[in-house]
């Protein structure tokens, strides 16, 4: 079976629906689509769920093994609980005889992160044989001071631990979402000008190296000059060595981005950043067929990213 998975920071799901989000999704035809920055509270998401004709799975079953009907459209989401119009993620899918949802988890089970509505995990079985956990996350920005960078680095560490839990069980792992960090200087249009900007900071790239196997820098040589973050260089993190799917196919391609600043109309000049990713464990490489950035698809300040796998 061929499986297409889409990830997209939609910068507001309700606004996206008004801009033709469903029509664009219908053209792309993903089997699973993961969205970030829904900017919708749980009540709004419940209304959208009903409007789209998707089943809202009872989160009281969170983490339990499920036996669901085939050809069942489902949606799972996590919303910010303390601020309207902020953060939020959702995963939407259609079950078939070849793709079955087996379990799911809402959040990281850590209140400071989960209050912001940043993570949905769905564990699927493909062809009654291949199990994979899809971790859809909206990673924090670090632009509001040192406390948010600290928050961001600890979030990355918890994602590492979550993914490792599945890998240790023999379940393949796919991470997707807006990671809010560039892997290397090749991933943004103006690396020198942004060397001290969040998304490019050495401590952020160090945290990203806990997840992704990378050849653009040596994490051991990153110079973390800010004393507030030097402890992160010393913590014992077992790196996941996941594959950056886009760079797997296009290791040297420049000028391909997934985010552009709207205020400066940067998209028109392609002055962008590649901060939206699909990362997969090495066990899925034989199944990975393509990875693309759909930078011609409009409707958000981010472009959708897509991978295709064959099981």
What pLDDT is stored for residue 163 in this prediction? Answer: 98
Assess whether pLDDT exceeds 90 at residue 234: no
> Which whole number is the average pLDDT over 111-132?
96
pLDDT-derived band at 225 (thresholds 50, 70, 90) equals confident
Q: Is the dihedral of CA 130, 122, 76, 248 positive or negative?
A: negative
What pLDDT is stored for residue 233 in this prediction? Answer: 86
Round to whole Å and give the CA distance between 290 and 309.
Answer: 7
| Beta-ladder partners of 242 | 212
Assess whether pLDDT exceeds 70 at residue 60: no
CA dihedral 173, 30, 80, 9 (to 10 degrees): 100
> Which whole number is the average pLDDT over 69-81?
82
pLDDT-derived band at 134 (thresholds 50, 70, 90) equals very high
Pull the structure tokens for residue 131: 């199990």
Strands 172-178 and 130-138: parallel
Assess whether pLDDT exceeds 80 at residue 71: no
Assess whether pLDDT exceeds 50 at residue 41: yes
**pLDDT single digits (tens) 256-293:** 999 999 999 999 999 999 999 999 999 999 999 999 99
**pLDDT single digits (tens) 238-251:** 999 999 999 999 99
Round to whole Å and give the CA distance between 25 and 20.
Answer: 9
For each of the domains in the chain, give its residue range(s) and CATH number, in order of start. 2-310 (3.60.10.10)
Residue of 178, 214, 281, 301 with catalytic role: 178
The answer to which of 19-28, 66-75, 175-184 has the lowest mean pLDDT is 66-75
Average pLDDT, the chain: 92
Round to whole Å and give the CA distance between 246 and 244.
Answer: 6
Assess whether pLDDT exceeds 70 at residue 58: no
pLDDT-derived band at 65 (thresholds 50, 70, 90) equals very low
What pLDDT is stored for residue 67 in this prediction? Answer: 46
Confirm whether 150 is a catalytic residue.
Answer: no
DSSP codes joined into one string, 238-278: ----EEEHHHHH-TT--S--SEE-TTTTHHHHT-EE--EEE
Assess whether pLDDT exceeds 90 at residue 53: no
Assess whether pLDDT exceeds 70 at residue 69: no
Assess whether pLDDT exceeds 80 at residue 102: yes
> Which whole number is the average pLDDT over 146-163?
96
Of the chain, the percentage scoring pLDDT greater than 70 comes to 94
What pLDDT is stored for residue 68 in this prediction? Answer: 46
């Amino acid at each position: 079976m061929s499986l297409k998975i889409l990830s997209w920071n939609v910068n507001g799901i309700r606004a996206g629906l008004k801009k033709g989000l469903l029509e664009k999704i219908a053209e792309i035809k993903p089997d699973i689509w993961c969205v970030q920055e829904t900017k919708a509270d749980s009540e709004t998401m419940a209304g959208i769920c009903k409007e789209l004709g998707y089943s809202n799975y009872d989160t009281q079953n969170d983490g339990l093994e499920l036996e669901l009907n085939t050809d069942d459209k489902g949606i799972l989401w996590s919303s910010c609980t303390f601020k309207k119009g902020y953060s939020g993620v959702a995963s939407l899918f259609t079950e078939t005889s070849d793709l079955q949802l087996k379990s799911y988890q809402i959040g990281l089970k850590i209140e400071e992160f989960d209050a912001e509505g940043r993570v949905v995990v769905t564990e699927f079985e493909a062809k009654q044989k291949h199990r994979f956990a899809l971790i859809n996350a909206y990673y924090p920005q670090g632009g509001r001071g040192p406390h948010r960078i600290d928050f961001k680095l600890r979030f990355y560490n918890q994602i590492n631990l979550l993914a490792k839990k599945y890998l240790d069980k023999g379940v393949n792992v796919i991470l997707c979402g807006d990671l809010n960090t560039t892997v290397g200087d090749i991933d943004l249009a103006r690396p020198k000008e942004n060397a001290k900007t969040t998304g490019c900071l050495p401590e952020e790239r160090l945290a990203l190296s806990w997840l992704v196997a990378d050849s653009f820098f040596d994490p051991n040589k990153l110079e973390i000059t800010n004393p507030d973050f030097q402890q992160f260089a010393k913590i014992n993190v077992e790196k996941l060595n996941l594959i950056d799917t886009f760079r797997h196919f296009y290791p040297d391609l420049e000028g391909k981005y997934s985010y552009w600043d709207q205020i400066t109309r940067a998209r028109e000049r392609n002055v962008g950043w590649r901060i939206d990713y699909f990362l997969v464990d090495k066990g899925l490489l034989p199944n990975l067929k393509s990875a693309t950035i759909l930078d011609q698809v409009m409707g958000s300040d981010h472009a959708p990213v897509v991978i295709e796998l064959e099981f």
